[in-house]
Structure 1
Amino acid sequence: MPIAEVFSDPGIRGPLVLTLRVSLVAVPLFLTVGVGLGYVLGRWRSSLAAALDFAVSLPMVFPPIATGFGLLLLFGNRGVIGPALRGLFGMEIVFGFPGVALAAFVSGLPLMVKPVQAAVGGEISRYTEAARVLGKNELEIFFQVVLPLVRKNILAGLFLSWTRSIGEVGVTLMLGGNIVGRTNTVSLEIYNSVFTGDYERAAILAGILGLASLAALFTLRRLAVS
């Protein structure tokens, strides 16, 4: 299929645009919430931190479809939190863009948190203690000491979390519903195309997804050594 026809095909363009929109939401959340959680969990030791660490780790060990079902029980129209969000803010999470974005964020979050947590809880703690002795406050320590030292961990975590989020199927299927033209991301559309026997479209989408991941890998590697 010629390149011009590839991007003019709604069955290809739609999932690509949706996946890009999801990335534009997930990546800033990884860099803020993910890095922040990694710092907190690497820095503090308490029962609350242990419980939070356990919750963050669940998407790595639970089957994606089970994770998605758990989130559906929380955010669904008859879930624990879903009705409150709809009543207070008029927001419906499932079977729409918010559900797809939430699936991407939850799936990739552990892979952003863990590298930062490991770095902060390791040898970097010596530098943070030294900064504290020199009179630095927590914000100064975080921005002037921790972030420069864990930059490579952040870049590695960002790549892993982003590629995990755009490749997500199980959680997205439960929260988004795989509605064609609305919640079918690139990964779901690859599944749909294979299911319907459209191997050409599946190969094109898989190739685009793979090239995007390789481009991100090379970019982050260059940033890591610069």
Structure 2
Amino acid sequence: MPDDSAWAALRLSAWLAVTVTPAYVLAGAWLAWALEFGLRRPAWLDILVTLPIAFPPVVIGFGLLWLLGRQGLLGPWLARLGIDFVFSFAGLWLAAFIAGLPLAVKNLQTALQAQGRDLHETALDLGCRPLAAYWRVHLPIARAALAGGVLLALARGMGEVGISLMLGGNILGRTETLSLAIFNAVSGGDYRQAAMLSLCLGAFCLLLFGLVRCFQPRSRNLS
């Protein structure tokens, strides 16, 4: 059976999943709008959103540590506001959010692109403002893509290790998520516990992937 530290990691990961999911929904919807229908559709924003997919997580984690750490560029200012991302749940949350967000945004953006510009122009001709057209027309049609992207983002965020190590610090019973607990168990030679925790995390991700398939449009046999 998992020990107390493993149960603590499970509870922490569950709470992390609950709190980061709404952020995936809101940020994914807004960023997809900015990238697809924004007035200028800035290339730098697309690069920034896509970066965590291709960039090494440990490098991103170091960059965030350099930016948000207590001795970082924004660290002293954040400390005066009572905000601390290092060795805290906030750091774990930020790591999961950054790691998973590109999947939520890109999945929705692809669905929006498939709708075509004619639909957008028609909504504008009928009197909708650009932002209202997005929320009332485009997003309801693409809600399945948003849901699927959020589930994929959650699976990616729960498996995050590199950024979490840099920001959270991997403190036993405090900032040790389920994925970090697996890493620690393997490092300590406790393969039995690593296997049990891996089954838990793997089952959770398989459940998410199964839900993603439920949101995918079914092809119709026209023959």
What is the TM-score of this pair, normalised by structure 1? 0.90
Residue 132, structure 1, aligned to residue 124, structure 2: yes
Is the 8 Å Cα contact of residues 30 and 109 (structure 1) preserved in structure 2?
yes
Residue 219, structure 1, aligned to residue 211, structure 2: yes
Is the 8 Å Cα contact of residues 152 and 212 (structure 2) preserved in structure 1?
no
> How far apart are residue 223 of structure 1 and its match?
4.8
Residue 143, structure 1, aligned to residue 135, structure 2: yes
Is the 8 Å Cα contact of residues 43 and 121 (structure 1) preserved in structure 2?
no
Separation in structure 1 between the aligned mates of residue 24 and residue 100 of structure 2, nearest angstrom: 8
Residue 14, structure 1, aligned to residue 13, structure 2: no
RMSD: 1.8
Instruction: Spell out, residue by residue over 1:47-97, the C-alpha distance to the aligned partner (whole angstroms, 9 max, x if none).
Output: x7211111111111110100100111111001112211111x211111110
Residue 209, structure 1, aligned to residue 201, structure 2: yes
Residue 59, structure 1, aligned to residue 59, structure 2: no
Q: How many residues align?
A: 218
Gapped runs of 5+ residues in structure 1?
none
Counterpart amino acid of residue 48 in structure 2:
A
Separation in structure 2 between the aligned mates of residue 124 and residue 155 of structure 1, nearest angstrom: 20
Is the 8 Å Cα contact of residues 113 and 157 (structure 1) preserved in structure 2?
yes
Separation in structure 1 between the aligned mates of residue 123 and residue 101 of structure 2, nearest angstrom: 29
> How far apart are residue 118 of structure 1 and its match?
2.3
Gapped runs of 5+ residues in structure 2?
219-223
Separation in structure 2 between the aligned mates of residue 26 and residue 145 of structure 1, nearest angstrom: 26
Separation in structure 2 between the aligned mates of residue 82 and residue 150 of structure 1, nearest angstrom: 39
> How far apart are residue 124 of structure 1 and its match?
3.6
Structure ranking higher in helix proportion: 1
> How far apart are residue 186 of structure 1 and its match?
0.4
What is the TM-score of this pair, normalised by structure 2? 0.91
Aligned equivalent of 1:83, options 69, 73, 76? 76
Aligned equivalent of 1:177, options 169, 173, 177? 169
Separation in structure 2 between the aligned mates of residue 86 and residue 11 of structure 1, nearest angstrom: 29
Counterpart amino acid of residue 76 in structure 1:
G
Of all paired residues, the percent bearing the same amino acid is 40
